[in-house]
A = this chain, B = another copy of it.
Amino acid sequence: MMEEHRHVTIYDIAEKLNLATSTISRALKDHHTISDKTIKKVKQTAKEMGFVPNTLAAGLRGNKSRTIGILIPTVTQPFLSSLISGIEITAQKSEYSVLIMQSHDSYEMEVNLAKSLYSNRVSGVICSLAMETKDTSHFKQFSNNNIPLVFVDRVPRDYDTFRVVINNYLAGYKATKHLIEQGCKRIAHLTAGSEFGTLYNERKRGYMDALIEHELPVDEKLIINLKEMTYEDGVKACNQLFDLKIRPDGLFAPGDILAVSAVQTAKKRGIKIPEEFAVIGFNDDPISKIIEPNISTITHPAEKMGKAAAELIIKNLKSAKEEDAKEITFLNTQVLIRESSKRI
């Protein structure tokens, strides 16, 4: 029965057992210089007294907190919450904690939160960049101080550090190729931003190359640049597409929400899916297999990516070789063919 206030410390245990605190500390970690008898006695007493180690103290001493910091735009997107889940599960196994911060896609917040993570002396950082972020110098504080840094999904192009991503170019290519194989001739595409190397741009490149390779024209009218990747913007864009003199007969949407908006807009207009309009989305969000018709999509292995990122950090922390290769981890994606695009 533990009581009020003052926490139990190794000093309390040391006093009770007439041992030095160093012995207690070592005994609790099964240090080889401590006899089994002492270890057993210490552990027993610690449990009895209700001792719980103070990670702050340990962290201060070692200047590391056994904490992984996550800096992402938001936690509510299915992809990102699954990413968190993957990280947390992996971290938990190695007794790491997970600190979460949301940038809400704001560059300014990202800068502040990065500082805050550093202030918390996190052992490592996993980040998916804010939409607004162009400059990534606020991450130098981690690199400079030997804090492993892993970017996931939305990664910077020009920063030499760990990256866990999918091959967006290839995914875009595969998605588009699938539509072509289903007989689509005029495939539309939604995208965002325009800088080279970004995730949406890569998908677009894959889309275009697939068209070119199959000798289909790339029609700028069929490529719509969205401000935001929301359901509403998707509806707007699709209406625009359907108003064209010659309607597209297929769509590669780089997100399932957009695919949903396309499917529903088409249905509302009486356009038959997939016969008149085939749709493929991206991410394999839960909704994609519930909506009717089910939406074909590209898998985006969120949990796996989280796991991979966390493992990179934990592994890197262990080995701590100064010059570990800052490799890029590519995870595979698959084309899931469902009703929305299956014509043959």
Give the interface of A toward B (CB within 8 A). Answer: 2-5, 7, 50, 52-57, 59-60, 63, 65, 67, 74-76, 78, 81-82, 84-85, 88-89, 92, 95, 97-102, 113, 115-116, 118-121, 140-141, 144-146, 231, 260, 264, 267, 286-287, 290-292
Given contacts A89-B102, A118-B52, contact A146 B5 (CB under 8 A): yes
Q: Which residues on the B side are within 8 Å of A63 (C-beta)?
A: 7
Q: Is B59's CB under 8 angstroms from A88's CB?
A: no
Shortest Cβ distance from A15 into chain B, in angstroms?
19
Q: Is A76's CB under 8 angstroms from B78's CB?
A: yes
Q: Is B102's CB under 8 angstroms from A88's CB?
A: yes
8 Å CB contact of A92 from B4, B101, B267, B292: B101
Bound CA–CA A120/B67 (angstroms): 10
Given contacts A4-B144, A88-B101, A260-B290, contact A56 B59 (CB under 8 A): yes
List of 9 A-B pairs having minimum Cβ-Cβ separation, nearest first:
A81-B81, A56-B60, A56-B59, A76-B81, A55-B119, A75-B81, A75-B84, A55-B120, A56-B56
Bound CA–CA A100/B146 (angstroms): 24
Bound CA–CA A146/B85 (angstroms): 30
Q: Is A60's CB under 8 angstroms from B54's CB?
A: yes
Write the chain B residue with the least CB distance to A98: B100
Q: Which residues on the B side are within 8 Å of A98 (C-beta)?
A: 99-101
Given contacts A97-B101, A100-B88, A119-B52, contact A292 B290 (CB under 8 A): no
Q: Which residues on the B side are within 8 Å of A116 (C-beta)?
A: 95, 97
8 Å CB contact of A56 from B2, B88, B120, B290: B120
Q: Is B76's CB under 8 angstroms from A100's CB?
A: no
Shortest Cβ distance from A113 into chain B, in angstroms?
8
Shortest Cβ distance from A137 into chain B, in angstroms?
11
Q: Is B100's CB under 8 angstroms from A84's CB?
A: yes
Q: Which residues on the B side are within 8 Å of A260 (C-beta)?
A: 290
Q: Is A88's CB under 8 angstroms from B60's CB?
A: no
Shortest Cβ distance from A88 into chain B, in angstroms?
5
Shortest Cβ distance from A271 into chain B, in angstroms?
15
Bound CA–CA A141/B3 (angstroms): 9
Q: Which residues on the B side are within 8 Å of A97 (C-beta)?
A: 99, 101, 116, 120
Q: Which residues on the B side are within 8 Å of A54 (C-beta)?
A: 60, 119, 121
Shortest Cβ distance from A99 into chain B, in angstroms?
5
Shortest Cβ distance from A142 into chain B, in angstroms?
11
Bound CA–CA A227/B326 (angstroms): 46
Q: Which residues on the B side are within 8 Å of A84 (C-beta)?
A: 75, 100
Bound CA–CA A115/B140 (angstroms): 34
8 Å CB contact of A287 from B82, B102, B290, B292: B290
Q: Which residues on the B side are within 8 Å of A231 (C-beta)?
A: 290
Bound CA–CA A230/B342 (angstroms): 27
26 contacts between A and B (CB under 8 A): A4-B145, A52-B118, A52-B141, A53-B119, A54-B121, A55-B121, A56-B65, A56-B121, A60-B60, A67-B120, A75-B75, A75-B88, A76-B81, A76-B82, A88-B100, A88-B101, A89-B102, A92-B102, A92-B113, A97-B99, A97-B120, A99-B99, A99-B100, A260-B290, A286-B287, A287-B287
